[in-house]
Structure 1
Amino acid sequence: GGSALYGTDAVGGVINVIMKKGSEIGNHVTVKAAGGSWNAEQYAISVSGSNDSGLGLIVSATKERRGEYKFKNANGKSQMLKNSGYDDTGVIVKLDQKVGEDNRIGVNFEHINADGGSPFGFSGFGTTDSHKRISNNVALRYDWNESSDEKGYVQVYKNYQHAHFRSPVASRQSNFTDSTIGIEAQQNFKFSDTDELTAGLEYYKTTVDNNALYTGKRDINNKAIFAENRWEFAPTWQLNAGLRYDHHSKYGSEFTPKVAVNKKFDENSNVYLSWGRVFNAPTTDDLFWYQPGMYPTYGDPNLKPEKGYVWTFGGNTKLNDKTDISASVFYSDIKDAIDWVWDGGTTTQAINVNKEKRRGLELSLNHDFDDNLSAYASYTYVQVKQDKGYGFAKDLTTKPNIYRAGLKYKNADWLFTLNANAVTGQSEKQFVDSSYFTLDLGAQYKINDNAKLFINGYNLTNARYAEFGGLYKNGEAKYPMAGCSFIIGAEYTF
């Protein structure tokens, strides 16, 4: 939490996904086709390759569609969720060219066209509302000294989204664009074998044009500079210290430091303690959402930014060559946390919660029985308490106890995966059941080096559950997840 490099709004942490280059994948074409429950269809094709001059290319296209799905309702019966079908198309293009000995320039483009129903109404299922979203995101990046300890990059990007929500109810209609332009740069400095620094800067501007909600255009921007030092000040000790400065167009300037200490006992065991400040500015939706009508929804242009701190303490150890264990506990204390609340009547409003406290722990175990069979198990506990002016009370939409376990078997021809998930302790004021258990199964058969068949089964227990809290007055879950389903298909590479 409180990352100096990636932004302090990531209170829970950051996952940084970096797509491979075409030169790293090799020259090939892969096609996939699958079908399954509720008239589901999935198609995909990807092409990748490179040449001797350092040019790399990846192009992929996907098409997914599905009809209305079934779920288990509050009475324990399978029911079709009307207007829940969708039809999505996506394209990704990544082109990169090596420049000189150790530099590279690249461009990434992503297009998404999502079209489908919006079945979740204000008073029950069965709405005829629908949505269409078009996203076009492009980025141009230049990397230098790629294989060096003192590598760096600069990137400019533009993300664009056009969303159209259609409804026979005028107050639920919306047709808007959301556009963000930005630039970011980073540079690594290697002072010695035990001391290095990463420094950088960021700028972005988000503009939303939404006559239905904002009565016109609204925009915000943010400028930031940051630095993080990683120093092994003793043979088994490392200190990470970071500082970030943000200047927000609406909320002014803020410094957010982060400090972490890591103790390494041997090659297989370590413990760490980290602390970081949090500064999270409201989004354009939080500030400017304006949707009048029978069931109005409003943002608040006077919202305050979230501020606070996060503590994390954890450790990792390898019991033997086949077993790893990790554990961590965390605590955050946030002032003016941003939340959307329903007033108990018809209106939903963005508000600042006086204080929000989160605490929890995570335990995980990984074990390899042999070269073919492995297993994992984990437990996560989370408690969220909010003070909305009447003292602290538990956030009942939180899943307090999450259990996960799985098995994986692989040989030359077969791959089997079994994943179990269980949740206990849910509030029956927000969820139909206080607990649930789901089971997913995957099987893949390799016909030869080029072709394979696969089948995946989801929610094989046909559990009644929801990822998000909320109940209608009749006790039905507002956002029910799909029941038992299957997908079967084939993939070929040449």
Structure 2
Amino acid sequence: MKKFLLSIVFLLVFNLLGFNVMAEETEISFTLDEIVVTASKYEENLSEAPVSVEVIDEDEIEQKNGENVADLLRDVAGVNIKDNGTIAGSKTISIRGSSSKQVLILIDGIEINNHQSGNFDLGQLSIEQIERIEVVRGGASALYGANAVGGVVNIITKSGSQEPETITKLGYGSFDTQTYDLIHRGQSGRLNYNISVSKKTSDGHRENSTLDQESIFTKFNYNLNEYSDLLLFLQYIDSDKGVPGSKTYPSFTAYQDDEDMNFNLQWDRKTENKDSKVAFYYTDHERIYDDSKWSTHSEHEVDKIGIDFNQAIYYNFHKISYGGELVRENVESTDIKAGEQDSLNKALFIQDEWKLIQPLKIIVSGRYDNHEEYDAEFSPRLGTVYTINSKLNLHASVGKAYRAPTFDELYGSYPDSLWAWYGNPDLNPETSKNYEVGMKYLDTSAKVELNLFKRDVEDMINGNYFDGDKGYSTAVNIDSAEISGVEVILVKYLTKKTSTDLNYTYLDARDKETDERLTYRDYHNLNLGLNYNTEEISGSLNGKLVAGRSDDLPSYFIVDAKLNKKIKKDIELSLELNNLFDKEYQINNGYPMPERNYILKVSTKF
């Protein structure tokens, strides 16, 4: 109750601030024609997107408390980060009650999900090279295929700068956390480049929760002519970490070594009425896990190679986009039957957008996926946007989405565990029907969004079903679920320097057969923020309330703060304070989150 009252007080303070300054003249703060690309696979105004899209831009990234992508997404409406607590612990994402396997993660439009497990650890990705993040809430298989049931997160990285610049960043904080970043950007003739190296170490707040991470990032853009560009992206991350386990089953000798490599070569061509893109990509993930106490050792390598093509053609009252993808995936693992498996997926998609009458836009899209391991899937979607005026519109959509079974679910083999477990090669994909209606209001000083959503999921994969006849556990298609909720998003510029934001998500996720709540789907999620920004100093205060939790976990309210100060023109200090009131809480049951902690950073540019 005290935590709830504290959140109400926090909100009232914001309202009082708003009443005191509402009469002041504000400058243009929101861009009414902000461009997004993820919702439709081509550039369009945010206000005209047929689905709910959240954009975290470079300025917001600078203001947020965050060491990785998971931190940046914690206070996004409809998003829940499942966090194992430690700085090295796994951090995966849920959108609108989805599992982490039902969210597609992209870097510059290319998928990076690990198809052995189905998800991706967002704690792996540093924020230093991120230009913006686009979060599409709701099913998007009509354009992106498998695993976009809950939504899509597209992480768009920074390119080079017109003037050469070198940036150094040094950080030190709680638990002997140390960060080092060296970044160089520039341009030479037609070549635009961005290169960086980073290192992070930490002892963590629990025994055996250390982290030692190194990463290399390179991005080159070459201007072929006035219409065409060639992009080359390469990222390598090496993370050595302790794995302390849960409080119930701690592990003080387990460690894990992850190596991730992403390569992306793209050709883009933009003319007055046509956009074309061809991407060739390769991803490789290697993991070694070892626990001497339990004589456990496993090795895994998952690689993917693919080619992606899409084109958009623009007419006066009509847009059409289409494309295709060819992807080969391979896994070699000590926990996979026969030690190695691979698969091939071929896909085609098309989307047609019409403005039948001036205020009404209709979008019809569909994608056909032909996977060699299970039946083909067709994912259609129908969307509409009705523009009431230049500031207000309504949108609605209905569509089908699906999640593919992972390599572990299909071919996993754990005969020596306490309870024997084997994969099921006869699994079918999970499928869902997605419904959404929403309203967006956007002017120069305020943003308001209201979304209602519902998702019916069939053939959900129960990954731990005990087969009495066979005497072991396996994965089967037996579950179904209904997930519904509402999102309210409010952002207001109070003055030229001060803004507030609030978002609230109500979520009800239940098993259709038993009517029991799905685990880790909380009823209430409220985020509050107060931001101050000038050229010399900026700061933020953010509160998060999570209540009505499943699994009998207690509610919690935490507050974080950040302050940035320019000492000189090219020298800046930043101080992050996390869990300001030193609350004890858990996001995942059995994994305590850190106590009050800080990190101090200094950056120079020359």
Map of 1:233 onto structure 2: 356
| 1:194 equivalent in alignment to 2:313 | no
Map of 2:402 onto structure 1: 279
C-alpha distance in 1, partners of 2:267/2:255?
40
Please say if residues 527 and 544 of structure 2, whose CA atoms lie closer than 8 Å, have aligned partners that are also in contact: yes
For normalisation by structure 2, the TM-score amounts to 0.73
SS of 1:392's partner is: coil
SS of 2:408's partner is: helix
C-alpha distance in 2, partners of 1:211/1:412?
54
C-alpha distance in 2, partners of 1:210/1:223?
24
Please say if residues 46 and 58 of structure 1, whose CA atoms lie closer than 8 Å, have aligned partners that are also in contact: yes
Cα deviation per residue 1:361-380 (whole Å; 9 max; x = unaligned)? 10011111111000000100
Map of 1:63 onto structure 2: 199
Please say if residues 462 and 479 of structure 2, whose CA atoms lie closer than 8 Å, have aligned partners that are also in contact: no
Q: CA deviation at 1:278?
A: 1.4
Cα deviation per residue 1:449-490 (whole Å; 9 max; x = unaligned)? 21101100111122222333x3xxxxxx2x222121100010
The one of 204, 209, 213 equivalent to 2:327 is: 204
Q: CA deviation at 1:321?
A: 4.5
Change (3 A) 1:449 1:351: farther
Q: CA deviation at 1:347?
A: 8.0
C-alpha distance in 2, partners of 1:402/1:213?
38
Map of 2:366 onto structure 1: 243
C-alpha distance in 2, partners of 1:348/1:108?
42
Map of 2:490 onto structure 1: 365
Map of 1:174 onto structure 2: 298
C-alpha distance in 1, partners of 2:273/2:334?
49
Change (3 A) 1:428 1:286: closer
The one of 250, 266, 270 equivalent to 1:125 is: 250
347-356 or 180-189: bigger deviation? 347-356
AA aligned to 2:579 is N
AA aligned to 1:13 is G
Q: Which residues in structure 2 correspond to 1:29-68 (within 5 Å)?
A: 29-52=166-189, 54-68=190-204
Cα deviation per residue 1:123-157 (whole Å; 9 max; x = unaligned)? 52243110001112211111122x54411111111
| 1:482 equivalent in alignment to 2:594 | yes
C-alpha distance in 2, partners of 1:364/1:193?
33
C-alpha distance in 2, partners of 1:348/1:26?
59
C-alpha distance in 2, partners of 1:296/1:467?
29
Map of 2:460 onto structure 1: 337
Map of 1:473 onto structure 2: none
C-alpha distance in 1, partners of 2:476/2:581?
39
Map of 2:227 onto structure 1: 102
* Structure 1 portions without partners, runs of 5+: 70-80, 471-476
Q: Identify the structure with bigger relative contact order (alpha carbons < 8 Å, sequence gap 6+).
A: 2
Change (3 A) 1:121 1:369: closer
| 1:22 equivalent in alignment to 2:160 | yes
Cα deviation per residue 1:184-221 (whole Å; 9 max; x = unaligned)? 0111112x222111110011111110124434101122
C-alpha distance in 1, partners of 2:429/2:149?
13
Change (3 A) 1:369 1:209: same
SS of 1:287's partner is: helix
Map of 1:441 onto structure 2: 561
Change (3 A) 1:416 1:121: closer
Cα deviation per residue 1:241-265 (whole Å; 9 max; x = unaligned)? 1011110111132221111011110
Cα deviation per residue 1:9-57 (whole Å; 9 max; x = unaligned)? 212222323323225x6421111000010000011111111123x1011
C-alpha distance in 2, partners of 1:252/1:427?
35
Please say if residues 456 and 481 of structure 2, whose CA atoms lie closer than 8 Å, have aligned partners that are also in contact: yes
Map of 1:392 onto structure 2: 515
Q: CA RMSD in A?
A: 2.2
Q: CA deviation at 1:340?
A: 3.4
Please say if residues 173 and 212 of structure 1, whose CA atoms lie closer than 8 Å, have aligned partners that are also in contact: no
AA aligned to 1:136 is M
For normalisation by structure 1, the TM-score amounts to 0.89
Q: CA deviation at 1:304?
A: 1.5
Please say if residues 338 and 353 of structure 1, whose CA atoms lie closer than 8 Å, have aligned partners that are also in contact: yes
Cα deviation per residue 1:321-361 (whole Å; 9 max; x = unaligned)? 53321000110111111243486xx9875342431111111
| 1:413 equivalent in alignment to 2:536 | yes
C-alpha distance in 2, partners of 1:248/1:445?
53
Please say if residues 58 and 94 of structure 1, whose CA atoms lie closer than 8 Å, have aligned partners that are also in contact: yes
C-alpha distance in 2, partners of 1:396/1:270?
35
C-alpha distance in 2, partners of 1:440/1:99?
46
* Structure 2 portions without partners, runs of 5+: 1-138
Please say if residues 245 and 254 of structure 1, whose CA atoms lie closer than 8 Å, have aligned partners that are also in contact: yes
AA aligned to 2:349 is F
SS of 1:270's partner is: strand
Map of 1:159 onto structure 2: 283
Please say if residues 146 and 404 of structure 2, whose CA atoms lie closer than 8 Å, have aligned partners that are also in contact: no
Please say if residues 142 and 400 of structure 2, whose CA atoms lie closer than 8 Å, have aligned partners that are also in contact: no
Change (3 A) 1:60 1:342: farther
Q: CA deviation at 1:385?
A: 1.1
As a proportion of its length, which structure holds more strand?
A: 1
Change (3 A) 1:175 1:327: same
SS of 1:262's partner is: strand
Change (3 A) 1:36 1:122: closer
AA aligned to 2:277 is Y
Q: CA deviation at 1:169?
A: 5.0
| 1:303 equivalent in alignment to 2:464 | no
C-alpha distance in 1, partners of 2:272/2:158?
18
Please say if residues 238 and 259 of structure 2, whose CA atoms lie closer than 8 Å, have aligned partners that are also in contact: yes
Rg: which structure is higher? Answer: 1
SS of 1:15's partner is: strand
4-13 or 42-51: bigger deviation? 4-13
C-alpha distance in 1, partners of 2:446/2:367?
38
Map of 2:240 onto structure 1: 115
Please say if residues 336 and 408 of structure 2, whose CA atoms lie closer than 8 Å, have aligned partners that are also in contact: no
AA aligned to 2:477 is N
As a proportion of its length, which structure holds more helix?
A: 2
Q: CA deviation at 1:87?
A: 0.7
Change (3 A) 1:287 1:365: same
SS of 2:153's partner is: coil
Map of 2:98 onto structure 1: none
Q: CA deviation at 1:288?
A: 1.8
Map of 1:219 onto structure 2: 342
C-alpha distance in 2, partners of 1:428/1:284?
28
C-alpha distance in 2, partners of 1:33/1:493?
12
AA aligned to 1:361 is V
C-alpha distance in 2, partners of 1:339/1:63?
39
